[in-house]
Amino acid sequence: MSDGMIEKSIRENIAEARGRMADAARRSGRNPADIVLVVVSKNRTVEEIQSVLAAGETQIGENRVQEAERKRPALPGGFSYRMIGHLQRNKASVAASLFDAIDSVDSLRIAERVSEESLKLGKTMPALIQVNSSGESSKHGFAPEEIEKAADEVATLEGLSLRGLMTIGPLTDDEGEIRRAFEETRILFDKLRAGRRCFDILSMGMSDDYEIAIEEGSTMARIGRAIFERRA
């Protein structure tokens, strides 16, 4: 496919995703403008990301620090680069310099390391705590019963600004189970939000379940495959 066709396909897919996001927001009685789209660029080329930026999107999510190191220098400014994958402690220094937000703080050790590295750079890093709402051993994050304590501890760290929660839905076709996990995370979010300044991001939903996530209260959807794959 030519570059022009790739860009056209990406624009069309973004429009479709945004339309579905808006419909899901209205079904849940919310303003579609309040839902943020993060375009996930895992395994995508610099040219594809440039097409996303040319389409007016401003939030790009990357899963791996190694990919970000390779791509970021070739990309223009004017967008927010978000780390959304599991972050290893030995990559925290690089991540702090490359990213504008860390949306996948899955342990106190990671939070402390990102805090240290951000302070060295003289910056305050927006961060989301990852909740393992599905209980699946393959997923990172704090168990739901650990979240309140984790949030209190992370909130004390200099160099970090705790902005909310993130979760990955369970790997299942059971819509009821998916909704349960998202609802549980939204209840935690609402509880923690009380009395916390700037605690306003609930990142839930990916290509297969973002509409359900928005219906259940997500304020930020992370969509990759549905945007980059060519439609039939």
Name the token pair of 46: 């610099």
| Separation in Å, CA 182 to CA 36, 133, 168, 179 | 17, 7, 9, 5
Report how far residue 190's alpha carbon sits from residue 200's, in angstroms, rounded to the nearest whole number.
Answer: 9
Q: Say what the pLDDT of residue 196 is.
A: 86
| Three-state SS at 89 | helix
Q: Say what the pLDDT of residue 14 is.
A: 97
Q: Say what the pLDDT of residue 182 is.
A: 97
Check: CB of residue 127 under 8 Å from CB of residue 91.
no
| Separation in Å, CA 80 to CA 12, 22, 37, 125, 209 | 22, 22, 11, 12, 23
Q: What does residue 177 show for φ and ψ, rounded to 5 degrees?
A: -70, -40
Domain enclosing residue 29, as ranges: 3-228
DSSP string, 59-79: EEEES-HHHHHHHGGGS-SSS
pLDDT by residue for the chain (232 residues), tens only, comes to 566 777 889 999 999 999 999 999 999 999 999 999 999 999 999 999 999 999 999 999 999 999 999 999 999 889 999 999 999 999 999 999 999 999 999 999 999 999 999 999 999 999 999 999 888 877 899 999 999 999 999 999 999 999 999 999 998 999 999 999 999 999 999 999 988 889 999 999 999 999 999 999 999 999 999 999 875 5
As for how many domains the chain has, the answer is 1
Please give the torsion angle defined by the CA atoms of residues 136, 171, 17 and 105, in that order, rounded to the nearest 10 degrees: 10
Report how far residue 215's alpha carbon sits from residue 28's, in angstroms, rounded to the nearest whole number.
Answer: 5
Read off the DSSP letter of residue 199: -
Check: CB of residue 83 under 8 Å from CB of residue 68.
yes
CATH of the domain at 79: 3.20.20.10
The residue whose two tokens read 């998916």 is 178
| Separation in Å, CA 86 to CA 64, 121, 207 | 8, 22, 18
| Three-state SS at 145 | helix
Q: Helices marked H in the chain — which ranges? A: 3-27, 46-54, 65-71, 92-98, 108-121, 147-155, 175-193, 210-215, 225-228
| Three-state SS at 159 | coil
Q: pTM to 2 decimals?
A: 0.95
Q: Say what the pLDDT of residue 31 is.
A: 97
Measuring CA to CA, which residue among 187, 196, 115, 121 is closest to residue 152? 196
Check: CB of residue 150 under 8 Å from CB of residue 114.
no
